[in-house]
Amino acid sequence: MNIEQSTQNFDLTVLLPALNEEESIGKIIDEIESSLKIHNINYCILVSDNGSSDKTLEICKKKKVLINEVDQKGYGSNLKDAISKIKSKYIIFFDCDGSYNPSEIIRMYNKIKEENLDLVYGNRLNEQEKDSMPFLHRFLGTPVLSFFIRLFFKNGVYDCNSGMRILKTESFKAIKFFCKGMEFASEIFIKSSFSKLKIKGINIKFRKDYRSRPPHLSRWRDGWRHLRYILANAPDLYINSILYLVGTNYLLIFILSSQDVGNDFPRYHTIFALLAMNQFFKSFYLGIISLRIHLVKVEGFKSKTIEKMFKLKSSDFFMKIFVILFTVAFFELIFVTYSWYKNLFTNINEISTMIRILIYSAIGSFSMYFDLQMQSREDE
Q: Report the distance separating Cα 280 and Cα 69, nearest Å.
A: 50
Q: Report the distance separating Cα 109 and Cα 32, nearest Å.
A: 13
Convert the pLDDT of each residue in 114-171 to its tens digit: 999 999 999 999 998 888 888 877 888 899 999 999 988 889 999 999 999 999 999 9
> 342 falls in which pLDDT band (50, 70, 90)?
confident
Angle at which helices 351-378 and 316-342 pack, to 10 degrees?
160
Q: Around 179, how many Cα atoms within 13 Å sit in the side-chain half-sphere?
A: 24
Q: Is the confidence at residue 250, as pLDDT, over 70?
A: no
**Every domain of the chain and the residues it spans:** 3-231, 235-378
pLDDT of residue 207: 93
Q: Report the distance separating Cα 89 and Cα 9, nearest Å.
A: 9
- The letter for the amino acid at 58 is E
Residues whose CB falls within 8 Å of the CB of residue 91, separated by 6 or more in sequence, listed in order: 12, 13, 15, 83, 166, 167, 169
The phi, psi pair for 179, rounded to 5°, reads -65, 135
Q: Report the distance separating Cα 338 and Cα 331, nearest Å.
A: 11
Q: Is the confidence at residue 374, as pLDDT, over 60?
A: no
Convert the pLDDT of each residue in 280-311 to its tens digit: 556 555 555 555 555 455 444 444 444 444 44
Overall fold of domain 3-231: Spore Coat Polysaccharide Biosynthesis Protein SpsA; Chain A (3.90.550)
Could you tell me which residues are beta bridge partners of residue 167?
91, 119
pLDDT of residue 215: 73
Q: Is 251 exposed, middle or buried (0-12, 13-18, 19+ CB in 10 A)?
A: middle
Q: Report the distance separating Cα 34 and Cα 342, nearest Å.
A: 70
The CA distances from residue 76 to 17, 73, 186, in Å, are: 10, 8, 10
Strand order in 66-69's β-sheet? 66-69, 43-49, 12-18, 90-93, 165-168, 119-123, 199-203
Indicate the Cα dihedral angle 25, 28, 34, 35, nearest 10°.
-150
Q: Report the distance separating Cα 286 and Cα 372, nearest Å.
A: 10
Single out the residue of 108, 113, 1 nearest to residue 46, CA to CA. 1
Q: How many C-beta neighbours within 10 Å does residue 76 have?
A: 23
Convert the pLDDT of each residue in 266-285 to its tens digit: 555 555 555 655 655 565 55
What average pLDDT score do residues 76-100 get?
95
Instruction: State what percent of residues in the chain have pLDDT above 90.
Output: 44
> 60 falls in which pLDDT band (50, 70, 90)?
very high
- Let me know: does 250 contact 257? Beta carbons within 8 Å: no
Q: Report the distance separating Cα 332 and Cα 334, nearest Å.
A: 5
pLDDT of residue 310: 42
pLDDT of residue 108: 97
pLDDT of residue 269: 56
